[in-house]
Amino acid sequence: MGAGELGVLAGIIIPLSLFAMIFGIVYLNKREKLAMIERNMDPRSYKPQSAPYQNLKWGLLLIGSGIGLFLAYVLNRGIFNSFDDDVFFLYVALIAIFGGAGLFISYRIEKKEVLDKEDQRIEKL
pLDDT digits (tens, 9 = 90+) for 26-46: 999 999 999 999 999 888 887
76 or 12, greater pLDDT: 12
- Which residues lie closer than 8 Å to 53 by C-beta, 6 or more apart? 106, 109, 110, 113
Rounded Cα distance between 61 and 93, Å, is 14
Angle between helices 54-74 and 88-124 (to 10 degrees): 150
Tens digit of each residue's pLDDT (9 = 90 or more) over 76-92:
888 877 666 677 888 89
Q: What is the DSSP string of 36-92?
A: HHHTT--GGG--PPP-TTHHHHHHHHHHHHHHHHHHHHHIIIIIS---SSTTHHHHH
What is the band of 125 on the pLDDT scale with cuts at 50, 70, 90? low
pLDDT at 114: 83
Residues 65, 104 contacting (CB under 8 angstroms): no
